[in-house]
Chain A
C-alpha cells in the first residue's frame, strides 16, 4: 500500500489516528521465545485523550516487563493488586495527570489504557514477554497473534468483558506491523517458512560466534492476520534448564521431554467430526476446512469409525451414530464435505458439542473439531467439554483463530490443538492429528527424581501424552540438582511403567529470573487439573512478588504533570478499532494476494454487520422450501405438516409417509429417474445416498432401476395405508410381493422394475414407520 495512505488514514469518518502500529523483535533459543512488542501511539488532537487498545498475546506467553516512553521521558511502573491499580488510575485521571494501566481480560486478551495523553504527545509502550514453544512431531510452530477477529455472542454477558475492553472492528482501519526474529543454536540450521506472510531468511555469521538465522517480513504488513512461523527438520531431545530464583531463594527447573512411545500396530480409532459452518468461516476458512476434511477422510483405514456433523445456529448430523469405514461411507463422507458451505448463521458451539457428545456409540470416541473458534461463550463450553469424557482434537482455521479458546478447549479435555493458516498445506497438520489419534494412550504418568532431590512443588503432568509432542515440566527446588530426571508411564496393555523420556540435570543454567516468573505464572493460572495455590490473597501476593499480570493484578504507571500541563476535564475516549482479520467472513480473498500486491476489499452479500453489535446470522440456505414451492404449484402436499416433512438434527426432508403421499398425488410420468431429481422432491440426502450406495449390498443395479424399484414400493396403496394408520407393514409388504409375482407371471411388469430388487428393499425397509426412516439408512447398512 502507498506511504501516503498511512499518513492520511482516518479511523471512522473523520476521527483522528492515534495508533501508529506495532513493531516486534524476538529471539528464539531452544524452546524459549522472548519478544519485545513496541506499540506506538500519538495524540494529534488539541485536547487530552484517553486511548484504549485491546490486543492478543500468544497462548502461554508470560508478560515480563512494560517500559513506557512518554514524550521524551522513560518511565517505569509496577504490577499491583487490581483494585488498587484501578482506583489509582481513576485518581490520576481526575487529578489531570497521565496514567497507563495494562490489564488482562477475562478472555485472555489484554487491554492497554493510556489516560490523559497530552495534545501532540507521543507514547511508545514496549512489552516484553516470554513463551515456551512446543515441539510437535519433529517441528514447531511459532504463532504471534496480531488481531482479534469479531466473535459471535455477547461480549459483555458471555465473555464477561467490561464495556471498555470490548473490541470494535473497522473495515477501513490499517495498522502497520513490523517483525524481525533471530533464531539461535541448532535452530539456525532448521528449515523455516511462513504460511501467513512473505518473509526473508538470512543466515548471519557474527565473527566467529555461532550462526544466527534472521527472519524479517519481506513486504509491508498490517495487523490483519496472525504471524505464523513453521520450523521443520528440528528434533529436540529431552533437556533441562535451571535458574536461580531471587524472590524465593531456590532454584527453578524447566524440563522438556520429547516422548518416544513405540507403537507396534496402528490402532483403530473412533472419531466424531464436527465442522463449524457459521458465517465467519465464509471464504478462505471454509475452503481450508474442506481441504482438511478431505485429507482426513483419506486417512481413515479399515476398522476406523467416524461420524460427520456440522453446526452454526443449530447442529446437523449426517449419521445417528458412528459409521464403519467402507467404500460406501467414504464416498458419502466425501460428498458431504464437498457440499459444506458457511451458511448456518451464528456459532452455537456449546449446543453443537453437547449434541455431538450424545451421538450413540458403543466404543469410546474422540471429537475432531474444525473451527475458527470465534465465540464469546468460552467458560461454559470448556466445562462441558471436560465433563463429556471425550478428548477434543481441534483444528484451528483462519487467519486469526481464537487461539486461547481453542487451546484451552483442547487441553481441558485431554486433546491437542493444531492450526492451519490460510494458504498453508493442510496435510501435515492432518497427519500429525492422526498420528496422535492412533497413538496408544498411556496412563499413570509420573516423574522419577534422582536420589536425594525433593522438589518443593512440581507443575501437573498433562492428561494425555503423544509420541513426538514435547511435554514441559516446571519445578521448584531448594538447591542445584544433578543426575537425571525420568518420565514414566504405563500402557493399558502392559502393567509395568516404561521410560518415556529422560533429561540430564545441572548442565544448562539460565540467567535472570525469566524461568522462575514463568513457573509462577503457570502456577497461578490454576488449570483445570486443580493445582491450587491457596486462597486469593496468597495468589495476589505471589503475583505481586514476581510482578506478574494476572486476573488479580494490573500493571500501573502514573506520571504526575506540572500544574500548567494538567488536564482540566475528562479526556476524550479513543478506542482503537481492530482491523478485520483477512479472509474473515469472506471479506477479501487471501489467495488473490499471491497474484497482486493487495486484494480488493469486497464485502460479500450477506456478510454480518461490522460495528459493536454481535454479527447478525447469515441467511440459511434453504433447499427444501424451494422444492416445497415447486410442489405447491402442483397443488402438492403440505410441507408444514410434520407427518410429511421432518426437521431434525439428524434428518431433514420427506418422511416415508410424506414420500408416499407425494407419489400418490404426482402422476407417474413426473417421477424422478435420477438421484439428483430424487433429491429435488424434498427427500433428504441421507435416504438418497443410502439408496445409491448401500441399499442393496452385493447387488449391482443401475440408477434407474434402483429408483424405479424404490418408488414403486412406496407408491403401493397398502403401504401408504399401513403407514398412515400406524399398522404393521408385514401384511402390506406381503401383498406387494404377491402383486409383483402376479404381474411377473402375466408378463405385465412395468419397465425398469426388478422384482428381486424390490424384495431386497422390502427386507431393508422392514422397520419403516410413518415419520421415521429405519436406522439402517443412517448407518449406511452397518449397525453401530
Chain B
C-alpha cells in the first residue's frame, strides 16, 4: 500500500527510472504517464509515476507501439471494438460507387448507422468528391464547402 505523497521532482524521477528528462516529460505531455502534483519547478512525482515509467520502458523495449502501451496502462478499451468474424459467418455490406476507382463500403450494423444517417453520409461523400475534383470558381465553390463543413 502506497501512503507516501508524491515527493520527488522531475530530475530525480528520471534518475530513478533511468530515462532522459525529455522522454519522461514527453510521456507526461501525451498522457501516458499521469500528471504530477504541482507544476514546472514545483512539480512532484511519486511511486505511481515511477511504476508507470518502468512499465513503459519494458514495453517499448519489447517493441510495442505507444498507442498499445496506452491501452495497457490505462485499461481503456480500444475505441473501435475489434471484430473477429466467426468461421462461416456471412456479412452483408453495401458498396457505394462514388466514382471510377472510389468505393465506399458500409456495414450499417457494425457502424451503428440509421438509414437516414446512411443517406446523409452518402450525400455528403458525393458532394465532397465533386468539390475535390472540380476546379470550382472562387465564390460558389468555397461557399459550398463552408456549408458542408458546417452541416457535418
User: A residues touching B (Cβ–Cβ < 8 Å)?
Assistant: 2, 4, 8, 50, 86-87, 89-90, 93-96, 154, 156-157, 162-164, 567-570, 572-573, 596-598, 600-602, 611-614
Residue of A2, A164, A568, A611 near B142 (CB, 8 A) is: A2
- B90 located at the interface, meaning its Cβ lies under 8 Å from any Cβ of chain A in the complex: no
Residue of B22, B60, B129, B146 near A157 (CB, 8 A) is: B60
The answer on a CB contact under 8 Å between B22 and A164 is yes
User: Chain B: interface secondary structure?
Assistant: helix
Per the bound structure, the CA–CA distance linking A4 and B25 in Å amounts to: 36
- B41 located at the interface, meaning its Cβ lies under 8 Å from any Cβ of chain A in the complex: yes
If A570-B25, A612-B67 are given as contacts, then 20 extra A-B residue pairs at C-beta distance below 8 Å, sorted by A number, are A86-B20, A90-B21, A90-B22, A90-B25, A94-B40, A163-B27, A163-B60, A163-B66, A164-B22, A164-B23, A568-B39, A570-B28, A570-B39, A570-B43, A597-B135, A598-B132, A602-B101, A611-B67, A612-B66, A613-B65
- B63 located at the interface, meaning its Cβ lies under 8 Å from any Cβ of chain A in the complex: yes
Per the bound structure, the CA–CA distance linking A95 and B10 in Å amounts to: 13
Residue of A8, A163, A572, A613 near B68 (CB, 8 A) is: A613
**Contact A568:B40 (CB < 8 A) given known A4-B145, A163-B26:** yes
Q: Which residues of B contact A89 (CB under 8 A)?
A: 22
Q: Which residues of B contact A163 (CB under 8 A)?
A: 23, 26-27, 60, 66
A-B contacts, 9 listed (Cβ < 8 Å): A2-B145, A4-B142, A4-B145, A94-B41, A96-B40, A569-B40, A570-B29, A573-B29, A602-B101
Per the bound structure, the CA–CA distance linking A90 and B142 in Å amounts to: 44
Q: Which residues of B contact A94 (CB under 8 A)?
A: 10, 40-41
The answer on a CB contact under 8 Å between B63 and A154 is yes
Q: Which residues of A contact B61 (CB under 8 A)?
A: 157
Per the bound structure, the CA–CA distance linking A600 and B10 in Å amounts to: 47
The answer on a CB contact under 8 Å between B23 and A162 is yes
Q: Which residues of B contact A612 (CB under 8 A)?
A: 65-67
The answer on a CB contact under 8 Å between B41 and A156 is no
Count residues on chain B whose CB falls below 8 Å from chain A CBs: 35
Q: Which residues of A contact B129 (CB under 8 A)?
A: 600
User: B residues touching A (Cβ–Cβ < 8 Å)?
Assistant: 10, 20-23, 25-30, 39-41, 43, 60-61, 63, 65-68, 99, 101-102, 129, 132-133, 135, 138, 141-142, 145-146, 149
Q: Which residues of B contact A93 (CB under 8 A)?
A: 40
Q: Smallest Cβ distance from B150 to chain A, in angstroms?
A: 11
Per the bound structure, the CA–CA distance linking A154 and B64 in Å amounts to: 8
The answer on a CB contact under 8 Å between A596 and B133 is yes
Per the bound structure, the CA–CA distance linking A95 and B132 in Å amounts to: 47
Per the bound structure, the CA–CA distance linking A612 and B30 in Å amounts to: 13
**Contact A157:B26 (CB < 8 A) given known A600-B132, A613-B68:** no
The answer on a CB contact under 8 Å between A596 and B135 is yes
Q: Which residues of B contact A614 (CB under 8 A)?
A: 65
- For B11, give the chain A residue with the smallest CB separation: A90
Q: Which residues of A contact B99 (CB under 8 A)?
A: 600
- For B128, give the chain A residue with the smallest CB separation: A600
Q: Smallest Cβ distance from B76 to chain A, in angstroms?
A: 16
Per the bound structure, the CA–CA distance linking A703 and B102 in Å amounts to: 41
Q: Which residues of A contact B21 (CB under 8 A)?
A: 86-87, 90
Q: Which residues of A contact B102 (CB under 8 A)?
A: 600, 602
